[in-house]
Amino acid sequence: MGGQLAEVTLAYETYGELNAARDNAVLICHALSGDSHVAQHDEADDPGWWDIVVGPGKAIDTRRYFVICANLLGGCRGSTGPGSVNPATGKPFGRDFPTITVGDMVAAQRGLLDQLGIERLLAVVGGSLGGQQALVWGTRYSDRVRGVVALATSARLTSQGLAFDVVGRNAILRDPHFHGGRYYDRPQGPKVGLALARMIGHITYLSREAMREKFEADRLKPRDVAIEFEKRFSVGSYLGYQGAKFVERFDANSYLTLSIAMDLFDLGVTAAELTAAFRPTRARWLVISFSSDWLFPPEQSRDIVNALIANNAPVSYCEVQSPCGHDAFLLPHDLDRYGEMIRAFLDQLTPAPHAAPAARGEAYGPTSIFYQHRLDYERIAELVPPGASVLDLGCGSGTFLAGLRATNHRRLVGVELDEQKILTGIGRGLDIIQADLNRGLGAFADGQFDCVILSQTLQAVQDVERVLTEMVRIGRTCIVSIPNFGYHRLRTMLAETGRAPKSAGVLHYEWYNTPNIRFFTIADFEDFCRQKGIRVHRRIALDTETKAEVFEHPNLNADLAIFVISRT
């Protein structure tokens, strides 16, 4: 966009060993204020900015992967940037440094990989601006990367986020010591402007919850730090300290260059534009957002995921519930979830992935609907056409989908709400999308799957009509299994003892720990289908206590039923 550079230098660091096949390389892309020093090389080394994730035995395990992290083009930590010498003048570029894009940054990284002799990356991992670089890798250079991990990022910055950047840049540009960007040979540079820009930026990295936790209890007890900014309130001393510390290691012109590149990044705003932008991808994706991140809000990650779904691209997604704001992906608070999802995802990308967790008992307690042997799984599996694409709604940790995978189905996708179950499913090499069924499934197109499954979940759904309507829209064939609350043992228990009914089969819950909020029968479900114009192709009634199929009076003698349905 802004000219040419005759030559480019990229400062980079590597960790671990490149294997003989040269297929274990993981590129980590840093955010605006990061650099190539992602982790310590040894105990004597300075701390890295992502030590909690990168290192021996950590989520990105340097005993298994060859990790590369390069300082961005336009940066100030060894790579070509505004502070580099312009060959045409013999002086630092300053504001003469060309306007660059995120695509330019990634093109430079691609050149680095060429120099290292790496044809294809195992994965690209990045958060924030680093996540935008990962998006470019996954869409523009998809043939060179097997997997993409995008954390706390977006296809373009919100107008609110853009506004904060504009104010930050103006703080630098209006600093009397900026001198049009030619301050390198002067006694003082735009330190105040850069510090203010960092302070403004830091506000966007924190959530309301994080602010309250850090500052509410002692808001009138600021830290005694040697700064020139207001220190009346604890939040002021904190921000002032962060700004002053940042000036010691960063260049104002690089801040301008990189923040403009981030603000210019735009893969599209409409669903159609985003779908087109992600159409070239051939990579597998893991997208993670954080609930309290208002700089890169979760809905923007869902827009990315929806575009990938529209292209039938393999993707897993989770919105991690976190109080930490945008900085969550850099902090240990939620590492047990986002870090382990990264670990599981990378593990399944390797040519010989580790064995998946055991299918039974890994995370289920006696109140879980998956606690006992799932007789309905076996019968449902028989009903799924060979090679069909399958969407499993309320898939849990992917037990059923993992079983189907052995029968060569062409696409298997799960929808689940629980974070830990999503993590387990990712560890099985499955594509799991976090979503609340009650809010609809608009990301999926009409007839996108051969078969949609809703197994022992309907009784826990709030908006039954919406879920079933969406189900028959998305699937050419749909399979629903339901517990039958008309089962004779339940009728007897309620009538004779006056107690909340339960049985030894699928209806084994106590009244106080049941996940069920809908209490309906086989006859009720059949009436519903008739009223809503849903065609029932087949019904299988089961007694899970005796593990037998029921043919006589199923509404009385079966405690579970399976229906094959579709639009009329």
Alpha carbons 551 and 506: distance in angstroms, whole number:
19
Instruction: Give the burial class of 263: count Cβ atoms within 10 A of its Cβ; 0-12 exposed, 13-18 middle, 19 or more buried.
Output: middle
**Continuous segment of H or E residues that includes residue 289:** strand 284-290
Tell me which residue of 36, 42, 38, 32 sits closest to 50, measured CA to CA.
38
Alpha carbons 552 and 216: distance in angstroms, whole number:
66
* 342, 53 contact by CB (below 8 A): yes
- Residues 37, 326, 327, 450: which is the catalytic one? 326
Alpha carbons 317 and 340: distance in angstroms, whole number:
13
What is each CA distance from 526 to 68, 363, 530, 555, in whole angstroms? 58, 34, 6, 11
Is residue 508 among the annotated active site residues?
A: no
Phi and psi, residue 506, nearest 5°: -70, -15
Is residue 128 among the annotated active site residues?
A: yes
Is residue 524 among the annotated active site residues?
A: no
Q: Name the packing angle between helices 129-140 and 271-278 (round to 10°).
A: 60
Cα Rg of the chain (Å, integer)? 27
3-state secondary structure 424-470: HHHHCCCEEEECCHHHCCCCCCCCCEEEEEEECCHHHCCCHHHHHHH
Alpha carbons 156 and 279: distance in angstroms, whole number:
17
Query: DSSP code of 286?
Result: E
* 32, 157 contact by CB (below 8 A): no
Residue type, 369: I
Beta partners for residue 392, in sequence order: 414, 453
> Residues near 280 by Cβ (< 8 Å), separated by ≥ 6?
139, 140, 142
- Residues 33, 36, 79, 128: which is the catalytic one? 128
Residue type, 340: E
Provide the Cα torsion 297, 301, 306, 312; round to 10°: 180
- Residues 61, 165, 251, 293: which is the catalytic one? 293
Active site residues: 128, 293, 326
